[in-house]
Amino acid sequence: MDPRCYLLLLVIASGAVLGNGYNLKSATFLSPGFVLGPGSVENRFYTSIDFPTGHIGIKSFDAEVVDEAGNSIPLHETYLHHWVLARYQASKSNNRSHTVVRNSGICQGDTLGQYYGLGSETRKTPTQVPDPYGIEVGNPAEIPQGYEEKWLLNIHAIDTRGVVDRLGCTECLCELYNVTKDESLRSDYKGGLHCCVDHTQCRVKEGFQAVRRSLYLRYTVKWVDWDSEILPVKIFIFDVTDTGERQVGSSTAEGQGNGCKVEYDVEPCNAHGWCVDVKRTNVVLPTTGYVVYGVAHQHTGGIGSTLYGKDGQVVCNSVPMYGTGDEPGNEAGYIVGMSTCYPEPGSLKLTAGEELVLESNYSSTNTRGHTGVMGLFYLMVADQAPPPPISLLHHSVSVFDGSSEWTWTILSLLGLAVVAVAVGFSIWLKKRRETEDGYHVIMA
Ligand SMILES: *[C@@H]1O[C@H](CO)[C@@H](O)[C@H](O)[C@H]1NC(C)=O
Ligand SMILES: *[C@@H]1O[C@H](CO)[C@@H](O)[C@H](O)[C@H]1NC(C)=O
Ligand SMILES: *[C@@H]1O[C@H](CO)[C@@H](O)[C@H](O)[C@H]1NC(C)=O
């Protein structure tokens, strides 16, 4: 057998062996349908959505908008303003009794308590939790008697087919929507979430016609059954608009998260040339831990966001990727992905109370600025670093980029050993056969 076949078999076999520890499961679901016509808006909360059950570690959550036939819908037709996945516990006997189980921070109240949430960038933003980590959910010990864990999906989508001003509709400019601003809004509120609420209508070009159609969020969850080898991660979401009441310089998280406004405006810049709007806020992490994953969320106009640690060291820099074409996942002018950070597991430690700075940059070069933009930063943090690799194999770990399991290294080394033996054996066989053939020749 060709030695490469041995190697292939070994890779498959080691995958199967590894599977016992990390048996990655995957399921794809459709959200309940929502119907959109030109200019219309749906911002709905779907409770009790399809989701894997049991005590599991979530490994990724990816989503996109599709139509009834399962076709991907481009952002210039249906703009996915955001989707949010939240966890809650519901009473089995009383369908009105439920409690949201928030992530580990930072914002207070009902704000930003989700486990996952993205917007237009969803198709090209990695969401994987690297091994040996997972988002632990469904732990029976944490679910009160008579309750069960469920999941809620909030989907906010805007149909921009035939609208008079596509960017204006996606930025929820109040003047384009048929809303009557309620008194709670500032008189200078020009645009944002409060103007594109559920069942509002963005202005469409005179005479434009297109069918109303049913759309769905198609989402794929990957997970593993929970076991003691998996290390749990905590989820923190920082918001650049969080000015809170926390005293700058105080090392506690107290008072932080009271000021999360989620969205903000970028004022236009009248200067000639390129203008950048820089927004910063001081934040702290309430716990000490290792950064596992980081990603920012920005809207059109965003040019990057960075979380800085002490002494200005970069914890994570996340930049938007803009589309350049027409097809789903690459729509010109839209943010179709955000870059993510996966520090070497265990290498990047943040301390509770350490002064962090969140920075969110937008281009303000256009003439009207932007309304309702966001500057969120999503961070997964683990209490524990992964177990150290066996010292003998330490060198090989770096060869495998550190992101792989050390098990892989052992298995690969074993594999190489077996391949070496196999190659040796086949050479020996070949030699022997040649020798035998030689004898034949002589004897003939
Ligand atoms: C809750 O249960 C009652 C009685 O079974 C039912 O009439 C009602 O529609 C339910 N409400 C929701 C929100 O499911
Ligand atoms: C806005 O338009 C939609 C769609 O025509 C309509 O259902 C809704 O009632 C309107 N809202 C207001 C406040 O006029
Ligand atoms: C934001 O802009 C400032 C000023 O131009 C620059 O120093 C900083 O590096 C930028 N940060 C990001 C994340 O782009």
d(CA 12, CA 129): 22
Q: By the 8 A CB rule, do 172 and 201 touch?
A: no
> What pTM does this model have?
0.82
Q: Which residues line ligand 3 (CB under 6 A)?
A: 276, 278, 303-306, 317, 359, 361
DSSP state of 72: B
Question: Quick one: average pLDDT of 4-17?
Answer: 43
Helix (H, G, I), strand (E, B) or coil at 262: coil
Residue with tokens 């003939």: 444
Question: Quick one: average pLDDT of 193-219?
Answer: 97
DSSP codes, 147-208 = EEEEEEEEEEEEE-TTBS-HHHHHTTBGGGB--PPPTTS-TT--BSGGGS-TT-BB-B-TT-
Task: Pick the atom of ligand 3 nearest to 359's CA.
Answer: 13
Residue to probe by mutation, ligand 3, list 359, 360, 363, 364, most atoms within 8 Å of CB: 359
Pick the residue whose CA is nearest to atom 10 on ligand 3. Answer: 361
Percent of the chain that is helix, strand, coil (3-state, to 5): 20, 40, 40
Q: Please give the pLDDT value at position 106.
A: 85
Cβ-in-10-Å burial (0-12, 13-18, 19+) of 317 comes to: middle
Q: Please give the pLDDT value at position 1.
A: 46
Task: Pick the atom of ligand 3 nearest to 361's CA.
Answer: 1
Q: Please give the pLDDT value at position 17.
A: 42
Q: Please give the pLDDT value at position 150.
A: 97
User: Nearest 5 degrees, angle CA 170-CA 320-CA 401?
Assistant: 145
Question: Quick one: average pLDDT of 227-252?
Answer: 82
Range name among 19-23, 283-287, 381-385 with the lowest pLDDT average: 19-23
Q: Which ligand minimizes its atom distance to the CA of 96?
A: 1
pLDDT top residue among 28 and 250: 28
439 CA distance to ligand 2 centroid (A)?
95
Question: Quick one: average pLDDT of 177-190?
Answer: 84
342 CA distance to ligand 2 centroid (A)?
44
- Checking if the pLDDT of 352 tops 90, the result is yes
Q: Which residues line ligand 2 (CB under 6 A)?
A: 178-180, 199-201
pLDDT range class, residue 370, cuts 50, 70, 90: very high
d(CA 191, CA 173): 4
pLDDT range class, residue 37, cuts 50, 70, 90: very high
86 CA distance to ligand 1 centroid (A)?
21
Residue with tokens 């709670």: 184
Task: Pick the atom of ligand 2 nearest to 40's CA.
Answer: 4
Pick the residue whose CA is nearest to atom 7 on ligand 3. Answer: 278
Cβ-in-10-Å burial (0-12, 13-18, 19+) of 212 comes to: exposed
Q: Please give the pLDDT value at position 377.
A: 97
- Tens digits of per-residue pLDDT, 65-84? 999 999 999 999 999 999 99
- Checking if the pLDDT of 271 tops 60, the result is yes
Task: Pick the atom of ligand 2 nearest to 180's CA.
Answer: 13
Q: By the 8 A CB rule, do 112 and 238 touch?
A: no
Task: Pick the atom of ligand 2 nearest to 177's CA.
Answer: 1
96 CA distance to ligand 1 centroid (A)?
8
- Tens digits of per-residue pLDDT, 421-438? 666 666 665 555 544 443
Pick the residue whose CA is nearest to atom 7 on ligand 2. Answer: 199
- Checking if the pLDDT of 6 tops 60, the result is no
Determine what percent of the chain is predicted with pLDDT higher than 90: 69
318 CA distance to ligand 3 centroid (A)?
12
Residue with tokens 């369908």: 95
Beta-bridge mates of residue 314: 308
Q: Please give the pLDDT value at position 19.
A: 43
Q: Please give the pLDDT value at position 394.
A: 46
pLDDT range class, residue 256, cuts 50, 70, 90: confident
Residue to probe by mutation, ligand 3, list 266, 276, 295, 362, most atoms within 8 Å of CB: 276
pLDDT top residue among 270 and 238: 238
Q: By the 8 A CB rule, do 117 and 262 touch?
A: no
Question: Quick one: average pLDDT of 354-363?
Answer: 95
199 CA distance to ligand 2 centroid (A)?
6
43 membership: H or E segment, kind and range: strand 41-46
- Tens digits of per-residue pLDDT, 97-111? 899 999 998 888 888
How far apart, in Å, are the Cα atoms of 47 and each of 42, 108, 390? 15, 22, 46
Per the structure block, which two tokens stand in for 81? 């303003």
Q: Which ligand minimizes its atom distance to the CA of 375?
A: 3
